[in-house]
Amino acid sequence: MPLVTTKDMLIRAKRGGYAVGAFNAENMEMAQAIIFAAKELNAPVIIQTTPSTLRYASLDLFWGNIEALAKNTGVPVALHLDHGDSFDLCAQALRAGYTSVMIDGSRLPLDQNIALTRRVVEICSPSGVPVEGEIGCVGGKEDDSEGRSGYTVPAEAVSFESETGVSSMAVGIGTAHGVYRAEPVLDMRLLRKLVESISSPLVLHGASGLTDSAIRECVREGICKVNFATELRIAYSEGVRQVLCGEVSVFDPKTYGKSGRSRVQELVMERIKVCGCDGKAAYG
C-alpha cells in the first residue's frame, strides 16, 4: 500500500491502548529491516529520519527507498521527519513526500516554540500531513545536538496544543536520547497528568535502552508512539562487525549488510511486541 500519515495511526493506537513503534533508519538495509519486521508481525510502523541522516543522504533518496518498500508490504507505513530542526527542513520534507513531520522547538522559549510549530502546522495542514511538536526537552544527545533535560509542564502543554494545532506531542518525563549511563527514573505521575490534560496522542522519545517493563508501563498510561534510534544503530553495527571481524576475506557489502539488517529486524520485532502493536495492521 502507499505511504500513510501518522494521524489516523496514532488516533487508533490511543483508542486501542497500544503504541506504534517509530524506528530511525540510517540506510536502505535498516529501512528494509524495519519494514520486514512490521510485515512479519502484521503491525503498523513509522520509519524516521533525522537532520543528520538527511545530510548523509537526501530526503528524496530515503523517500524513494521507503515508498518502494511500503508499496509491496501490505501494512501501514508512515515516513516521518524526526526532530526537524528548522521550518525550511520541514517544508522540504513535505515537498519530498514525507507523510509526517516533527518540528522540534523545545530548546526555544515557549512563545517562540509555539510560533515556529504553528508555522509548520499551517504549511502541512492543506496536504493533510500531521505535525509532531515537542515541549519539555528530552535530555541526552539526539542526532548531533546536545539537549538539556527538562520535564514537560502540563499547563504549558495545554497552551502549546491549543495554540499550535499539533497532531501529536513529544513530552519530557525523564527519558534521554542516546545510551543511558544509569537507569532513568520516569515520572509516571506527570505522564498521567499530561494524558488527562491533552487530547493529542503523546510521544515518548529516548526509548532506546529502557526496559520492556518501563515501555509497557508508559504505553498503559497513554503513550501512543515510542521512538527507537540508538539501539538500532548499535544492532546494525554489531551485525556488520561480527562479519568483518570474523572473516577478513569478506569484501562484498551485501554480506555484512545482510548481517546488520538481520540484527535490526530481530530488535524491531521485539520492540513492536513491547509496544503492543503486533497484529494491529488492519487497525493501524
The SS3 call for residue 282 is: helix
**DSSP codes joined into one string, 140-205:** EEETTEEE---PPPHHHHHHHHHHH--SEEEE-SS-EES--SS-----HHHHHHHHHH--SPEEE-
Grid cell for residue 261 = 539488517
Helices 212-221, 188-197: axis angle to 10 degrees equals 30
Task: Say whether 144 is catalytic.
Answer: no
Q: What is the largest CA-CA distance in the chain?
A: 60
The SS3 call for residue 153 is: coil
- Which residue among the candidates 8, 60, 82, 104 is catalytic per the annotation? 82
| Residue 144: partners with Cβ closer than 8 Å, 6 or more residues away | 51, 52
Task: Provide the pairing of β-strand 223-228 with 202-204.
Answer: parallel
What whole-number distance in Å separates Cα of residue 264 and Cα of residue 37? 9
- Return the active site residues: 82
